[in-house]
A and B are shown apart, each in its own frame.
Chain A
Amino acid sequence: MSSAVVSTSAALGRRFIFDEPSEAEVCPLTGDKKPSGKQAAMASVFESTINHQKSKLPAASITPASRLEIRPAPEMAPSGVSAIDALTGGLPRGCLTEIFGPASSGRTSVLLAALAAATRRGEYCAVIDASDALDAQSTADAGVELDRLLWVRCGESSPHKNNSPLRHRDTEKDKNEENQGCPILVPRVLRDRVGTSPRSENSAIPRASEHRLEQVLRATDLLLESGGFSLIVLDLADIPLPAARRIPLTTWFRFRRAVENKSTILLAVEQQPIAGSCSTLLLQLGAIKPTTTQERKPSHSHLLTGLEITVELVRSRLERKPARSVTFETKTAWAG
């Protein structure tokens, strides 16, 4: 059994799979030495416990591995860049796709191309922008139908305290959990006057560096739960790598489970891959060189006309082929 199958079964909450009903394994006895009375008693207790547990399981809950359903290959949606489509077949629906690369490697261009392709198909998309970096004009120039794009601009501090889904090291624990379920409508000074019992104020403020990620993860959870979006983009491209790596793997696992068997494409844009084995498709981008006009002329006659981007297929769960790459060019809006 491959590790992937094991992890999926665990995620599904299935029981462990037994090929055939077997008795509890007891340590073999060597030589003529017979077990002592204490060992024999423990073995019998262990055996009876196992048999008791097995008797409680319904027969239908144990499925032989050979009878497990083969998961169908996900439907692929065009990415908006023909070179990437030729490389990967598109972006898999119901899966997590990671696109990573350094600055100026074309991540945002690919992101906008995917958004444009999806909105042209009449689908609704959402961008959860951790750094509030989306440029409106570039988005429009890329051909994104703006009516179909939900933009969540993270970064502004929230007036409300939230439980951080991140792995906290030293944040203060909320001392007043009572207020979480019953927000207060009246300031404390007035509550005291009208006879309500005073409650302590909430003083735990998440650190600014973590706050954006918290918002991203919560917004992603909410949008995945809401449903109806065909492409949800997590733009983590400007989040420092140490901070991005603090997103627990379980969170990525949850996201992957949330989109599984749906037509949603979950696309994460990062500096380095951070979702581990949860991503179905992993693409690395890099800019080879800019495409410009002649350089000998004075600078005011130069023009940045685009970037030459290389895309490397680092990993794909859909097909096991060696890593390979393609190159394509982006064009600036003024290049014509």
Chain B
Amino acid sequence: MRISLYLGIAACLAGMGVVLHGAILSSRDAGFIQSNPEAASITDGGFVSDYFNLSYRLPDEWAEGLLGPPPSQSGYYVLGTWAPKGDFAGTIMVAAQDMFFEPDSSDDVKDIVALFRQVMSTVDGMTIDREPSQVSIAGHPGYRVDFSGVGLFRSMFAIEIRCHVVTFNLTTHDTELLASLAGSLDSLVPVRKESPDPVPECVKDYASENVVHRVEPQAVGTRSVSVPVRLIVAADGSVKHVHVIRASAVQARSIEDAVRQWKFKPYARQGHPVEVETGMVFNLKPASM
């Protein structure tokens, strides 16, 4: 998997039956590369994900739902959930799966949506209402699949950003509302209207063969644990950013302290060194062993 993504997107879910209030969020241009996927926020009534460069203002009659769980050991994130303030007529849940730690080893978003379609078709009482089909969300090619059962009508849109599959999961008991929510995905806007820096190239397993100086994390804690980590390597081969996806504070500190000392062979695109983003799993040993 080697995907270069220059993001110029954002999200704004509105549509029939939902009314946007105010203008779209203003541009932001700093700190996005170092941000982490779970750092999505609600600011001034709008949802902002610097990492994925997604943004939309919450519709008037919709509100933030319950916060999702923290990132999983396989790099799965629930970025946000929304529901109407009044009648509980539907929900929107935005999630992301880090493809570096994708447990199904699926290679791209098309395969993932196809597999999802296959799984859902086997659920008792479930009907596939719309076979996986190509869509474009904010300029990103992606796939949509619709399905329904027991009176609930659902749609999943999936796009790929920075080697993550980002999904918009819509559920309603009203087909018209589902259609309006789906239509609202056309109005996505970017967080950053103009990006001053390109997003790092994302390359799976780059760390497996290109580390020229490595320092092992100190054994900490009381048990062995596998820790998924994303890191950004600067154009000169130094480590620019470390994101420990799920670990205790002491484990995260141990990994960060070690990895920041690493040196990589610089990654080149068309002969020019560029930043690269990759992932790896650390198998930390306990201090007592």
Check if A and B associate.
Answer: no
Question: Which residues of A are in contact with B by a Cβ distance under 8 Å?
Answer: none
